[in-house]
Structure 1
Amino acid sequence: MKSRLASVHPLQLICLGLTALLAYGLLGCAIGYSQSVSGNLPQAQRGVLDLRTVPFDQQTVPLNGTWKWYWQTMLKPGDSETNVDYAPFPEIWNKQTRQNQPLPGMGYATYALTVLLPPATPPLALRLPDTFTSYRLFLNGQELAHNGSPGTSKETTTPFWSTQVKPIHPTSDTLHLLLQVANFQHYKGGPYQSIELGKAEDLLIARNRECALSFTLAGCLFMGGLFFLGLFLFGRHEISILYFSLFCLLYSYRIVGSDQYALHSLFQDTAWSLTLHLEYLSLYLSIAVFVVYTGSLYPDDVNKIVIKLLAGICLAFAAATILFPARIFTQMINPFLGLMFIYIGYAFYVYWRAAQRKRPGARYSLMSTAVLLAVFIIIIFKYFQIAFPENVILFVGYIGFFFLQSLVLSFRFAYTLKQAKEQAEEGLRVKNEFLSTMSHEIRTPLNAVIGMNHLLLQDHPRPDQKQHLDVMLFSAKNLLHIVNDILDFNRIEGGKTVLEMIPMDPATILQNVVNSYQTAAAEKSLLLKVTIDHRFKTRVTGDPSRLAQVVSNLVQNAIKFTEKGQILVNLIVNEETEHNITLTLAVEDTGIGIAPDKQEMVFNRFTQADSSLSRSYGGTGLGLAICRRILELQHVDLRLQSQPGKGSRFYFTQTFPKITPPPELEREPAPEPEPKPIPTDKPLKGIFVLLVEDNAMNVILAKNVLDRLGATVEVASNGQEAVEKLDSSRHHLILMDLQMPVMDGYEATRIIRQRNETLPIIALTASLAQEVGDQTQLAGLNEVLVKPYTPASLMQVIMRHLKIPN
C-alpha cells in the first residue's frame, strides 16, 4: 500500500481528496435535510405558529406549515378576511388543488400567518427568498419588504427575484405576517422556499457569506475565462482553450444570476425578463460550449455525431428561450435537467476512454467529471426541494471542477509547449548538423579549387591566365567568407561563443585590420587609414580575436558600400581611471549612407537596407548582425549615424579593464605576412608522409604540394588502412583527414597513439577548429589545419612539426 501511494502524483491525491470531500458534503446535506424534516421544529397550524419555546439565539426556524390562504384575493392590512382557506407553505400553486381542482401557475393570492414569540428574544430578522414571481410582505400592518410588485393582472404585476434579510423590531410577542404573491409570467407560481426567522446577526452573516461566495466564485470564473481567452489569442494553437474560456465566461453569470440571485441585490432596477433570459441562456450556451470543448479536448475519443447532436440540443433550447415567452420556455428547464445526466455521463465516458488511452490530462478530466456529477446532483436536490445544502459545499464543488479542468488545460498547454520545445530543439539540432555538413561539403571541393589555384599561380602563368586565376581565387575566397559568416552567426545564436579575457592592444589590432584591407581599398581607389588617440598608452584585457572580427566586418562593410572618398578607423579615449579605460571605436565612410527609417533594419540577419543592394554589392547581410551579437555578449551596443548619399559612421563605446601595473607598452605582433611561395630547393626531401584522405581531388592537391616540396607520399583512403600501412621506421609525419568511411581520423589516431607512436599527426578537416578542438586533443592529434588550406600553409605546418628551418 505504501508503494502504491508513493507512486501517485500529489495533485492526484488532492483531487481525490476533493472528490471525497464533495461526496461527503452531498451525503451530509441529505442527512441534514432528513433530520430537519423528522425533527421537532414547530409547524404552523391553521395560520398560527407557536415559537414561544424556541431559543432563537441557538437556531433559525423556517416558518413552514399551514398558513391562511386567500386565492385570487389581494388582501391589505386591515381588510376583512373572507373566504379563508388553508394551504401548505411553501408550495407552488401548480402542485395544489382547490375544491378538488388543480390550480394554475398563474394568478395571485394572499397568505397570512400569526407567529407567537417568547417573552425575550435577541434582535430578530426574516430571511425572505424569491417567489414565483413577485411578492409584498407586511409585518404588523407595515410593509417590510417586496420583490417586484404583485398585482391582480399581468399589466399591474412587476416580477423580480432576489433574496433578502430584513431585521424586525416587534413591539409585542406576536407577529402578524401578510404576504401578497402574484405571477403572470412564469409557468410556476407561488412560494417555493421557506421564510426563515432567526437571530438577525446570524441571518445577516449567512446572507453576506452567500453573496461573498457567489461573487468570489463568479469573479474567479470570469477572470479565469479572460486568462484563458488571452492565452488563446496569444497562442492560437489550442482551440480547446478558447472553448473553455467561453464556458467560464458564460457560466460565471449563473453563479450570481441564479439560485440566490446575488447580482440582483446590486442591480434592483434590472428588468426581470432580461435577467431571466440571461439565466437560461447562460445555462444552455455554457453546456453547449462545454460539449464542444470536450470534443476538441480529445477528438480521437469522441463520436463527432454525438457531439454535434448534444450541442445542437443545447442550441435548440437556447433558441426557444429567445423566441418563446417566459411561460413557455421556463417549462423546458425540467426536461433539460434530465438531459444533463446524459451529458455528464457521455463526458465521463469520453474522459474514461481518454484516460485508458493515456491522453494528456485525461485523468484530471475524469476526476473533474466526477466532481461535476456530485455538484449537479446537489443542484438537482436543491431545485426539487429534496435537500438544502450549505452554499459552501457547492462553492467547493465548483472550485474543484474548474480547478481540475484548468489542470487539464495547463497540462495540455505544458505538453504542447514541451513538444514545441522539443521540435525547436530538434530543428536547431538538424539545422546545426545541416550547416556543419554543408560547411564540410563546401569546404572540401573549395580546398582543391583554392589549392590548385595557388599552384597554378606559382607556375608563372601568362598575364591573361593570371587574371583568370585571380578572379577564380577571389570568387572561391568570397564563397568561403559567406560560409564562415553563416557558421559564425549560427554559433553565436546557439550560445556557443566563449569570450576570452586576455591582454591585448586595441590600437595594434585596429592597425593590423586596416593593413589587411589596404589592398581591397586600393582596388577601389579609397583612402583607408587609422587614427589613434594620443592619450591611449596602455594595454587592456579583452578578447582580441572578437574585437578584430567586429572591426574587420565594419571595415569590410564600409569598403563594400563606398565608391569614392575615404574610410577612417578611429580609437578615441572617453574616460580613464586607475583600473579601467573607456574607448570609442568607430568606422566612418563616405559611402551611400542609410535612410533613417532603415537604419535599424541593417542589423537584422540576412538583411540589407535595400533588397536591391544585395544584387549590386553582394553579401549575406550577416556582417553587421554578427558584430551586434558579439558586442551584445559583452553588454555593448553597436550604434549608427548615417545620412543617405553622405556616408555612415558605425561605432561602439566599451570599457576595458586596464592591465595594472602597466608594463612598457608593447604593440601586438604584426600579422603574419603572406605565405611565401613554395621554395624550389625541395625542403622536405627525404621526408616520408602518410596521407590519409578519402577525397580524390584533395589527394591530388596534397600529393602535388608535397611532391613540389620533395616529400615522398603514401596514400591511405581511410583510417583502417592508415593503421595497417603506418610504419614508424619509414614515416615521419601523418596528414589525417577526420571524416572518412570505415574508420574516421579520430579512431585511427587513438589506435596509433595506443601503440606508443609519437610521430606528428596533423588533422586536415573541412570542419572548423572550434568544432573539433576537444575531440582532436583527446584523440592525440598535434594540430588542426582547416580546409581549404594553401600550399604555403601546409608547408609551414609540416616544417614546424618536423623542426625544419624555414
Structure 2
Amino acid sequence: MKIGKSLYAFLLLFCCLTAVGFANTQPLAKKGVVDLRRQSFFEKIPLDGQWCFYWHQLINPNDTTKHNACIVDFPFKWNGFSLRGETLPSFGYATYQLTVLLPSKTPPLSLSVPDAYCAYRLYLNGKMVAEDGRVSNTPEGFEAHWQNNIVDVPTGVDTLKVVLQIANFVHSKGGISKSIVIGERRMIDLSRRRSEAIDLLLTGCLFMGGLFFLGLYIFGNRDKAILLFSLYSIVYSYRIIGVNNYELHTILPDISWYVTIRLEYISLFAGIGLFGLYTLYLYPRDIYKPIVYVIGSICFLFSAASAVLPPLYFTQLINPFLIVTVFCLVFIPYVYIKAYRNKRPGSGYALASSFSLMVVFSISLFHYWAIIGPLQLLNFAGYVSFFFLQSLILSHRVSFALKRARAQAEQGLKAKSEFLSTMSHEIRTPLNSVIGMSHLLLKTNPRPDQVEHLDVMLFSANNLLAIVNDILDYNKIEAGKIVFEHTEMDIASIAGNIVAGLQNSANDKGIGLKLQVDSALNNKVIGDPTRLFQVISNLVHNAIKFTQAGGVEVGITVKGQTEHDVTLSIWVKDTGIGISKDKQKLIFERFTQADSSTSRGFGGTGLGLAISKRILELQNSTLQLESEEGKGSTFYFIQTFLKSIKTVEQLKKEDNLPKEDNKPFTGIHILLVEDNPMNVLVAQKFLQRWGADIDVAANGLEALNKLDISKHQLVLMDLHMPVMDGYESARNIRAQGISIPIIALTANLPGEIQLKVKEAGIDDIMVKPFLPDELYRKVLHYI
C-alpha cells in the first residue's frame, strides 16, 4: 500500500514537472522577429519561435542579396524535415536568422549558446562572436566540435541581428536541438558557473566514489557487486562532465570530437549494462536473470558499435536504446520492491534509491523530448541521493555494524556542530544587549546597592560569554592549540566576583559561601583572567550543586613568592556528597559524572571538570582532588604566576575609560549597519554619548545607498543581515574604490570568518557582545 502511494506521488511529481515545462509565458519569435522591448532580462529568455531558415546556404551577415527563406520552429533539427517536397538529410549546412528587438536601455546582456550538430558560427549585428568547430559547405573543410559558449551582446543597441550558420557531415542529426537564451550578463554567467560547479562536483563525487569502491573490492572481500558498481560510477561520471554542458570540451578544447562522441555513447550504453549486472549480483534471488543477460548483451553490443562504427551509424542507436532505458526504469524498481518484500539486506536503501533513479532518468528523458528544462538542481539532488543510497547498500554488505556506528557518529558530530554554531550566535546576540545595557545603567548614576548588583550582573554576563567561547573551542583545548592571554589580572578580585555572582545560588540552598584570600598576595599577576575565571567558576558551581548542607569555601593561599613571581594554591572546599576513591579519576572525563544517577539528581553535562583539567594542564598545572564519600571534597591546583610591577590600586586607576562628558567623537559621522534593533540601540547609545553622529542602515543594500564618503568616516557593519549581508556590501563598497574603514560586528568567532572578512575588504572585527572600552578603542583607532 505504501509503495503504491509512493508511485502515485512520483507520477504526480512528473505531471507537475511536465506542466511547468509547458507553462512557458516567454515571448516567441514570429516570422524571424522576436520583440523583447517590454521584457525584464533578470530571468533568462529563450529565443524560441519562428526563425528564418536557409537550407544549403551559408549567408554572410552583410550580404544584401535577397534569399529565399523558410520559416521553422527554433530550435530546429533539419534531418527528416520536408522542404518543398524534399526530405532533408542529416548531412548538409544551413543558416538561421532572427531579429531581436531590445529596449533602448538594458543592463549588460549575454547570450548562452549551446552545442549544435555539429559545428556553428554565430554573428551578432554582422560580427562573428562565437565559433564551435569549423563550418564549411564541404566535408573536407568541416570540423566537428561541441561546446557551450557565452557571448556578450553589444551595448547600446536596440536591434540585434542574429545569424547562425550550422554545418554537419558526421552526425545522424543536423541543426540545433537546444534553445539559445538571452539574459542579464551576470545572471547568464552565474547560471553557467553554477552548472559547471554542480557538474564538476558531481563528477568528482562519482569518480572518486568509483575509485573508493574499486579499492574496496581489490583490498576487501572481492564482492562482484562492489566491483560492478565501482565500474558503473567511473563510467557514468563521464556522462556528467562530457555531455550536455560539455565542461570537458571547455577544459580540453583541442580534444577530438570523434573521441568524445564515442565516449558519450559508450558511457550511456555500457553504464546501463553495468548497472543491470550490478543489480543481478546485488539481489540474485530476486531478479529474472535472462532479462538481465538480454539487456546486458544489447548494451555491450551497442557499446562495441559505438567504438568501431562511424558516428553517422551509432548515433542512430539512441532512439531504440530509449526503449531499453524506459524498460529499466520500471524493471529495476520492481526488483528492489521484491527484494524489500523478501527483507534482503540493504533493500530499504535500494528501494529508496530506485525512486531517485526514476527522477534522474525521467528528467533526462523529458528534457531530451524538450518537454521540460534541464532542472539541474533537482537532477543533481537525484544523482547525489541515488549514489549515496547505493553506497549505503554496499557499505551494508561490507560491514553492517561498521556502517551503523559510522552513521551514528557522523549524525552526532553534525548535530553537535549545528547545535554549537546555533547556540554561539543565539547566546552572543542577546548578551550584547545585556552587557551593553548594564554599562549604560552604570552611567546613569545608580544607587550604591544598584552599582554592586550591576557589577555582579555585568561580570557574570561577560564570563558567561567566555564560558560559551571555551565550550565552542573545546576541540582546540583538547588538541592543545589554544592560545592563552598574558595580561595583568587581580586574582582576588576574580574570585570575589565569582563568589558574589554565585552567592544567591548558595543562599537558595541554605548553605554558606565564603572567600579566604591570603594577605601576602599584594600584587596583580600576569596570566589569562578568562581561563582562570572559568576554572574557578566551574569548581565553585560544582561544589554548590553537590552540597546540600554546610557550606562551600574558596581560598587563595600564597605557597611561595620571589621578587618576580608568586606560587598560589587555589582551592574550593565543600561539605557535599563526596566522591568514592574508585570514581575520582572518572569524573575528569568529558560528559561523565561519578554515577549515572547523579545527572538525574543534580543535572549538568559533566563537561566543566574536563575543561578545567585541560586548561590547567596546558598551563603546566594539575587539577587535584581530595575527597571522602559522604563528607565532602576539596578541588585544588597550584600554579606559578609572574608578578605585575604595578600594584592593584595603580591598575584600578588606569582601567577607567575617558569620561563621556568630554565627547571625544564630536563631529565624527559613523554609518551603523545592523538589523537587530537592540544591538542598534546599544551601539548607538555608546557612540552618541561620546559625541558621534550616527546614521543607521538595516541591511547591506541600504548601507550602499546611505553611505556618503564626504560625510562618513567609519562604517560599523553587521555580517548577517537580510536582503544583502555585510560581506557583499563591503565588497561592493571596495569595488567602488571607497577606502573608508569598515569594522565588522559579528557573533561568530574570529577564526571562523577571518578569511572571508579579509577577502571582503573589511579592516577589522569586533565580536559581539563588545565592551564599551573595546568599542571606544576600535573607533578611536580608525578615525
TM-score, normalising length: structure 2? 0.49
Higher Cα Rg, which structure: 1
